[in-house]
Structure 1
Amino acid sequence: MESLQNSVKKKATERHYKAEVLITGEQLRLRLHDGKLIKDRRYNLRTYPNCFVAKELIDWLIDHKEAPDRETAIKLMQKLMDHNIIHHVCDGHSDFKDAKLLYRFRKDDGTFPLSKEVKVFMRGQSLYEKLISSEDAIMKLQEENGLKYQRAVLGCEIIDWLIKEGEASSRKEAVELCRRELEHGIIQHVSNRHHFFDSNLLYQFRFNFRRRRRLTELLSEDSGTPQESHDSPFCLRKLNPEQDGSSFLSVQTNKEIKVVSAVRRSSITSAVTGSTTFYNTAPSLACLPSVECNPKSVLKRPVTNEELLSPGAPYLKKTLTIVGDAVGWGFVVRGLSPCYIQAVDPGGPAAAAGIKVRQFVVSVNSRHVMNLDYKTVSNIIMTGPRTLVMEVMEAIE
């Protein structure tokens, strides 16, 4: 029995990792298209559409902090080759080389292998995107037995939704669809005790498909446990990755640097934004350590909404637009109405847009949030678009 359980767990871990590779590869493909690294290229009197040059890509990965050195960058691209995400244009090389060779994403030339597993995964991703955009909002943060689960939905509600949206013609067909997604590790019962049933049991998507992955996450294949993220947009960047891969920067106005050691990137946000931990998987699969990071508020004194909004108050309102990158937006919120900026990554999109510590958050994408706590504000941001429009108030010096 124990051997069977270990086999099932190993298979689930492998599927989870393969899915993460697919997501990470697709996010990289889109970024490279945006950055014009993928384009038609001519070699030996022949034009190869939608290609990139290996050496140029290695330079790009290092410039964009996706890899600390060329050796690591090569390993990352080899992972994508091994999983049939990219290939040499003539399939003449099975190894990724740091040279002026042309490579291409298989999705760009129609050679990506659509196995049954991949089709189930892509269907799950499609359903996730529709649920995120749905006005019904049945997929949300939900609580069961004192624990909170992100991306959760009741079994009977998702069955109703699938039929309403035309994704299934009957309840039986909808149940079969959800069971396939569960068997392939896309969804699961929150405590991992039940298969899928048309009932009031609570299920969750194991993946946040919209979370922006770091390529270096692909190197965690042998960790034994799928590395989940807390879905936060407030990811702080790594500090000196060549020295210590587990250190992160948290920068305040006075440029004081606090280094948090031995904290996984996926758990950094819960530690920074408060003491409450949100599980992306059942607690039995991923029990996170209790970590304190910047426990002391950067505010000089408590400030109320009434004080901020009172006539003649010494605060200036600003509207700032932040375009998230592959890591996130690069800031941390804290507080219980109003929320405020606790930390900002000096090299991130938020800092470039003008976000500063001690600013108070007024609205997020036109939604007034001054009466909401940091957990609710975090959820609004991470389920929204990549481009973030925020109104903030800062003290007039």
Structure 2
Amino acid sequence: MERTCSMRRKTMARQHKAEVMIAGEQLRLRLHDGKLIKDRRYHLRTYPNCFVAQELIDWLVSHKEAMDRVTAVSLMQHLMDNDIIHHVCDKRPVFKDAKLLYRFRKDDGTFPFNTEVKIFMRGQQLYEHLIADKNSIMMLREEHGVSFQRCFPGYLFIDWLLQNGEVESRCQGLELCRALLEHGIIQHVTKKHDFFDSGLLYQFCINFRRRRRLSELLNEGKQDEEGTSTSSQEDSPFILKRGLPSEHTAFQSVLKRKELKQVTGPRRSSLNALQLHSAGFPPFEQLSTASLRCNPKSVLKRQVTCEELLTPAAPFIKKVLTVIGDPLGWGFVVRGAAPCYVQAVDPGSPAAAAGVKVRQFVCRVNEKTVLYLDYKTVTRLVMTGPRVVVLEVMEPLD
């Protein structure tokens, strides 16, 4: 328990450090645009890319980044303590509201590029690449009946790293992903797992593109000291529902199945409960645009019992379908219990190509009778089985 708490505190500290770095960089760019950072002369010497502390405090207050000068000084001291800015001569460890020259370490090449910073910058680079990709693997997906926005299966992330030349092997990709998780850049959607090359869902813990207000840094620092989560931000685009329990982060965007909407895109979402455990599959090929509706209500016209399906004169026809999974899974959703049935089918999926249709009842999976099993058990059988799934289904004649 103590070890878990220690690891959590360390992750939170790293995430806060990342937030400070992003906020500092956003401030640096704004100050450059506003011409507050420029070459300045002091005591017959020219200092490039500097700002005057007093002028910066004026700017922070006038731009409502700080409510008063004391708060503004505290914010700059926080950046100074985190090696974002420094006095031009490195002789003053305390930031003062005076006509003193300070500089961003990134402007003079003294920023400490240690392992932690390098991993952070690698994570930011990957995030920007994924966001810019019009067919991004980050999308609304479902795990254990709960929907998470902008997440991705572990195996699919490694596939993407390989296809884009970010890593040379799956082993190297796995090491990179575990380093990103260890340093608080990504996480399992419910924080229950380390990183695995599997269908488990992961998200970026940090929205690198969100505009930071400097005042957040002090609030986050206080929350870190109290041991509470700092990742929930009101303006984060990752939030779909607020007021969640403390174990959920802003990137966990939790929705129950009844709240799921239509998802449209060129890649199948893992709203598909039958997701593939990927190792060794062929490279990803772009799928045709398709929409998958995950209806919160049953698609069945009426309830059907197992006994009715087994009755010789029942109005159902039996079919045997062979579904060959691709790197994204099989492309259908099963629901219900004894018997379970097909709730949804992705039109561009292997399931659709094999003839799987909504309202079909699943009787056997790979020669195993599943008629009296619930959808969770059936899903597990498919996911842990071979790539080729042989389904015996029964569908209504009408």
For residues 15 and 206 of structure 2, the distance between their equivalents in structure 1, rounded to whole angstroms, comes to 9
For residues 115 and 180 of structure 1, the distance between their equivalents in structure 2, rounded to whole angstroms, comes to 14
Q: Give the structure 2 partner of residue 96 of structure 1.
A: 95
TM-score (norm 1): 0.59
Q: Give the structure 2 partner of residue 65 of structure 1.
A: 64
Residue 17 of structure 1 deviates from its aligned partner by 1.0
SS at match of 2:50: strand
For residues 143 and 277 of structure 1, the distance between their equivalents in structure 2, rounded to whole angstroms, comes to 18
Q: Give the structure 1 partner of residue 172 of structure 2.
A: 173
Q: Read off the aligned partner of 2:20 and give its amino acid letter.
A: V
For residues 136 and 231 of structure 1, the distance between their equivalents in structure 2, rounded to whole angstroms, comes to 27
Q: Give the structure 2 partner of residue 368 of structure 1.
A: none
SS at match of 1:52: strand
Q: Give the structure 1 partner of residue 231 of structure 2.
A: 228
Q: Read off the aligned partner of 1:141 and give its amino acid letter.
A: L
For residues 173 and 231 of structure 1, the distance between their equivalents in structure 2, rounded to whole angstroms, comes to 36
Equivalences for residues 191-340 of structure 1 within 5 A: 191-220=190-219, 221-223=221-223, 224-230=227-233, 232=235, 276-277=241-242, 284-286=247-249
Q: Read off the aligned partner of 1:105 and give its amino acid letter.
A: F
* Greater radius of gyration (CA): 2
Q: Give the structure 2 partner of residue 34 of structure 1.
A: 33
TM-score (norm 2): 0.59
Question: Is the CA contact 1:55–1:98 (under 8 Å) kept in the aligned structure 2?
Answer: yes
State how many pairs are aligned.
Answer: 249
Question: Is the CA contact 2:236–2:250 (under 8 Å) kept in the aligned structure 1?
Answer: no
Question: Is the CA contact 2:231–2:250 (under 8 Å) kept in the aligned structure 1?
Answer: no
For residues 98 and 177 of structure 1, the distance between their equivalents in structure 2, rounded to whole angstroms, comes to 42
Q: Give the structure 1 partner of residue 392 of structure 2.
A: none
For residues 17 and 66 of structure 2, the distance between their equivalents in structure 1, rounded to whole angstroms, comes to 20
Residue 103 of structure 1 deviates from its aligned partner by 0.3
Is the aligned partner of 1:23 residue 2:22? yes
For residues 91 and 17 of structure 2, the distance between their equivalents in structure 1, rounded to whole angstroms, comes to 24
For residues 287 and 50 of structure 1, the distance between their equivalents in structure 2, rounded to whole angstroms, comes to 36
For residues 83 and 15 of structure 2, the distance between their equivalents in structure 1, rounded to whole angstroms, comes to 16
Residue 285 of structure 1 deviates from its aligned partner by 4.4
Residue 231 of structure 1 deviates from its aligned partner by 7.0
Question: Is the CA contact 1:149–1:278 (under 8 Å) kept in the aligned structure 2?
Answer: no
Is the aligned partner of 1:126 residue 2:125? yes
- Superposed CA deviations along residues 282-305 of structure 1, whole A, max 9, x for unmatched, are 9624499xxxxxxxxxxxxxxxxx
Q: Read off the aligned partner of 2:59 and give its amino acid letter.
A: W
Q: Give the structure 2 partner of residue 149 of structure 1.
A: 148
Q: Read off the aligned partner of 2:34 and give its amino acid letter.
A: G
For residues 156 and 78 of structure 1, the distance between their equivalents in structure 2, rounded to whole angstroms, comes to 42
Bigger drift between 145-154 and 116-125 goes to: 145-154
- Superposed CA deviations along residues 274-333 of structure 1, whole A, max 9, x for unmatched, are xx4497xx9624499xxxxxxxxxxxxxxxxxxxxxxxxxxxxxxxxxxxxxxxxxxxxx
For residues 231 and 132 of structure 1, the distance between their equivalents in structure 2, rounded to whole angstroms, comes to 20
SS at match of 1:84: coil
Is the aligned partner of 1:14 residue 2:10? no
Residue 3 of structure 1 deviates from its aligned partner by 1.8
Q: Give the structure 2 partner of residue 79 of structure 1.
A: 78
SS at match of 1:204: strand
Q: Read off the aligned partner of 2:199 and give its amino acid letter.
A: N
Residue 129 of structure 1 deviates from its aligned partner by 0.4
Residue 90 of structure 1 deviates from its aligned partner by 0.6
Question: Is the CA contact 1:142–1:148 (under 8 Å) kept in the aligned structure 2?
Answer: yes
For residues 20 and 120 of structure 1, the distance between their equivalents in structure 2, rounded to whole angstroms, comes to 14
Q: Read off the aligned partner of 1:27 and give its amino acid letter.
A: Q
For residues 47 and 73 of structure 1, the distance between their equivalents in structure 2, rounded to whole angstroms, comes to 26
For residues 107 and 162 of structure 1, the distance between their equivalents in structure 2, rounded to whole angstroms, comes to 28
Q: Give the structure 2 partner of residue 54 of structure 1.
A: 53
- Cα distance, 1:278–1:169 mapped onto 2, change above 3 Å: farther
Residue 6 of structure 1 deviates from its aligned partner by 1.9
For residues 97 and 149 of structure 2, the distance between their equivalents in structure 1, rounded to whole angstroms, comes to 40
